[in-house]
Homo-oligomer: A and B are copies of this chain.
Amino acid sequence: MNLKELATKLGLSPTTVSRALNGYPEVNETTRERVVAAAKRHNYHPNTRAIRLATGRAMAVGHVIPIATRHEIVNPVFADFIAGAGETYSRNDYDMVLSVVPDEDEETTYRGLKSKGNVDGVIVHAPRTHDPRIALLREIGLPFVVHGRATGTADPYCWLDVNNRRAFQRATEFLLDLSHSRIGLVNGLEFMDFAIRRRTGYEGALTARGIAPDPALMASDEMTEIAGFRAATRMLALPQPPTAFLASSMISGMGVRRAVESSGLVIGRDVSVIIHDDDLSYMKNGEDVPIFTATRSSVREAGRLTAEMLLDVIARPDAGPQQRLLEAELIIGQSTGPAPKG
């Protein structure tokens, strides 16, 4: 059942039927009702491919996911972000197309997406400092929103980010207030922009209290359980081990916890741990009661909002770049306590 058939059945022209269904004013209200009823009765759904060609819009948004080296993107945080963005897209009748490509094909993919007209815009994931994708997308004229920020990019661009610096600064201050002075930072890989900002926040809080950041207490690695475990184990073996940790994710935090516990120490008493909690829907921090003290910011909500921003940019291309900074909450759990005496 297509438009022409439906029009014939109604004794109307395709034009009128199309207009009736799309809510244009120049059609009699009685006629419109007749058309709408017939469309429902015959289960008519306009062909997306034809709409796309006729309107010149793809009604789709792209997410390009590089694999190989930066496989970090295949992680639960990403999945939750996608879920959030996807909710926004379905609500707006947009398709979400995912391109999984080898790192070296990334530029080609973006250019292809634009010139072949597969999508109306893209979301840029996991920005690094001086991320070349931003200039590229601007050059080829493909609307985009960055999830995160890319330090070192001159011109303004659209982004939505969590205030990672502030979050880690507050978390550090919270520990300092509990009299911890040796605080380990188990950070993500520091070519990622957010990881740098987190370290900045951490260092800023320390120096503001007159404590010089100790390189031995800072680790930067993938945000996996094993990496968290190793970093924490290493730090706990120091002559002056930390009494508290900042972990960059729930998973890292689980590694830290394992390290602490297998040193025979008790979390929240001997060693405090604060994690950054992306509020993943499949891996909640505690169920009713928070277990980890955490800086919390829902990555799923970030996905929803980033997608909304992109759709807005697509709809109003001349409105100028938008930016939005979300604040993380500090959730007090059971993994922190006053620094042990001595």
Residue A79 lies at the interface, judged by CB distance under 8 Å to chain B? yes
Tell me which of B65, B117, B254 contacts A49 (CB under 8 A). B117
Contact yes or no, A283 B47, CB < 8 A: no
Tell me which of B48, B79, B87, B97 contacts A79 (CB under 8 A). B79
Taking the closest CB of chain B, its distance from the CB of A56, in whole angstroms, is: 8
Which B residues touch A80, using CB under 8 A?
74
Interface residues of A, count at CB 8 A: 60
Contact yes or no, A74 B282, CB < 8 A: yes
Which B residues touch A71, using CB under 8 A?
281-282
Residue A332 lies at the interface, judged by CB distance under 8 Å to chain B? no
Contact yes or no, A75 B118, CB < 8 A: no
Docked complex Cα distance between A257 and B79 (Å)? 25
Taking the closest CB of chain B, its distance from the CB of A337, in whole angstroms, is: 18
Interface string of A274-310 (1 = CB under 8 A from B): 0000001111101100000000000000000000000
Taking the closest CB of chain B, its distance from the CB of A258, in whole angstroms, is: 7
Q: Which of A35-94 contact B (CB under 8 A)?
A: 43, 45-50, 52-53, 56, 58, 60, 65, 67, 71-72, 74-76, 78-80, 82-83, 85-87, 89-90
**Given A65-B86, A75-B76, A79-B76, CB of A47 within 8 Å of CB of B116:** yes
Which B residues touch A83, using CB under 8 A?
65, 67, 74, 100
Residue A261 lies at the interface, judged by CB distance under 8 Å to chain B? yes
Docked complex Cα distance between A287 and B230 (Å)? 12
Docked complex Cα distance between A210 and B269 (Å)? 47
**Given A47-B116, A49-B49, CB of A82 within 8 Å of CB of B100:** yes
Which B residues touch A251, using CB under 8 A?
283
Which B residues touch A281, using CB under 8 A?
71, 74
Residue A112 lies at the interface, judged by CB distance under 8 Å to chain B? yes
Chain A residues with a Cβ under 8 A of chain B: 43, 45-50, 52-53, 56, 58, 60, 65, 67, 71-72, 74-76, 78-80, 82-83, 85-87, 89-90, 95-101, 105, 109, 112, 115-118, 222, 224-226, 251, 254, 257-258, 261-262, 280-284, 286-287
* 5 nearest CB pairs, A to B: A86-B100, A45-B115, A49-B52, A79-B79, A48-B116
